[in-house]
A and B are shown apart, each in its own frame.
Chain A
Amino acid sequence: MSNPRSQRFRPRRFLKLAIRLIDDDTYNESCRIRTSIGRAYYSAFLIIKSKLESLGHSFPDDHNVHSAVIDTLMVRGYRQIGAKLDSLREVRCDADYHMNVPIKKSSGNYYVQLSQRIIDEVELLRRIS
């Protein structure tokens, strides 16, 4: 049974957490940079997916969903958003799976900002379409 709309988790909260966490000295720097990038990606990804679904697109309920969302953006003329989301996804994979890839704080800030930018662009789409 699904929650009513008002009680649904809002993915933008992931971004808020990412923004706070990346500067929170309570935690180890590498941990918070990597975690922030992951939350920033999921915030943007979930908001875009929801937007595309509201426009009539449907996506598989498996691991292919990430590629499917990006493909839809690239083919439907939203390349500028699609390329940014794909880049964020690539860095999110480095952050979560590739421990040999160093990620600096400046990069972490950049990709958190990028997530905000993607969401802003999607909001703009909402008003246009």
Chain B
Amino acid sequence: MVSFKDQLISEASLLAPALSREELSEKISNLIENQILPEALIQMRLPRLPSPASVKTEELMAARYGKRAYSPLHDKMRLIQDLEKIRYKLNGSDLTDVNLPIGSEKTMQTTIGISHPEPELDIERVGEQLSVDMELIQDISPAPFGEPKEKIKSPRLIEFDSEVTQRIVSSRSFATLIGAIESKIRSNYSHGKISFSFSIRADLDIPSREKTKIYISLPDYSFEEKMDFWDKIETEIKNVIESLDVSEDERNEIRRNLLTHVRAV
């Protein structure tokens, strides 16, 4: 049976009789690799990333039950992030809003045939927020299909400070709460110039009391739009709190200590 590629070469050879079949084959391969596949990757709609809280929970559960090899959410996240990074290289825009774990950097470099020495683990920095300097990646990983068109740096959709990250790891109920809110944000607000920053802050009058604050930046919104957004997100957070499987005392504790702040800028 004649393959699609052979058929294509036969038809193309009629249009360009001066070229040999090998030359035509090479040109078609180049066309697919350099134009058709990159375009397909850029146009492709990727599935949503699993929430960092659920990935962390999976990681902790796997470690507990000795199932390090089987971590479908983590594998899915890495695959999506690798594809996103290829897309970034292709059209110069970062299409993901989340922090990229260090591991995906290596996978990307392997994919495009570049090897670099293994980075040393900085023990001091364990527990800090994970982030990847996109400019650094730009320097060490030449774009596989030509230079990016334009470098766009937009704020990430969601950021957690180190104390929030630590609490997600140490408290299952906190991880569930933050995971549910994060999921709402990702499904409803993953477009436009919006960013959410989760922080733990001491109460202004009672320093021993800690509150989780979600700072929201809406730089392109008018005052009225900001107020409407604020009311909407507060209603959604209220619904999340009401849906939690906790005692009434615990629910009140969450109601008191989880607050939003839509910033002026």
A-side residues, CB < 8 A to B, are 63-64, 66-67, 71, 74-75, 77, 79-80, 82-84, 86-87, 89-90, 93, 104, 106-107, 110-111, 113, 117
Q: A66-B204, A66-B205, A67-B205 are in contact. Are A87 and B261 (CB under 8 A)?
A: yes
28 A-B residue pairs with CB within 8 Å: A64-B206, A66-B204, A66-B205, A67-B206, A67-B209, A74-B255, A74-B256, A75-B252, A75-B255, A75-B256, A77-B238, A79-B234, A79-B237, A80-B230, A82-B259, A83-B230, A83-B260, A84-B230, A86-B259, A86-B261, A87-B259, A87-B260, A89-B204, A90-B204, A90-B261, A110-B223, A113-B223, A117-B227
B-side residues, CB < 8 A to A, are 203-206, 209, 223, 227, 230-231, 234-235, 237-238, 252, 255-256, 259-262, 264-265
Q: A75-B252, A75-B255 are in contact. Are A83 and B204 (CB under 8 A)?
A: no
Q: Which residues of B contact A79 (CB under 8 A)?
A: 234, 237-238, 255
Q: Which residues of B contact A63 (CB under 8 A)?
A: 205
Beta-carbon nearest neighbor of A65 in chain B: B205
Interchain CA distance A11-B168 in the complex, whole Å: 42
Q: Which residues of A contact B259 (CB under 8 A)?
A: 74, 82-83, 86-87
Interchain CA distance A25-B128 in the complex, whole Å: 45
Beta-carbon nearest neighbor of A64 in chain B: B205
Distance in angstroms from A36 CB to nearest chain B CB is 13
Other than the given A80-B234, A107-B264, A107-B265, 14 more pairs (CB < 8 A) read: A67-B203, A67-B205, A74-B255, A74-B259, A75-B252, A75-B256, A86-B261, A87-B259, A87-B260, A87-B261, A90-B204, A104-B264, A110-B223, A117-B227
Beta-carbon nearest neighbor of B232 in chain A: A80
Distance in angstroms from A19 CB to nearest chain B CB is 14
Q: A79-B237, A79-B238, A87-B261 are in contact. Are A71 and B230 (CB under 8 A)?
A: no
Q: 5 closest Cβ contacts across the A-B interface? A: A110-B264, A107-B264, A87-B261, A80-B234, A83-B260
Interchain CA distance A89-B259 in the complex, whole Å: 12
Contact A80 B206 (CB under 8 A): no
Q: Which residues of B contact A104 (CB under 8 A)?
A: 264-265
Beta-carbon nearest neighbor of A77 in chain B: B238
Q: Which residues of B contact A113 (CB under 8 A)?
A: 223
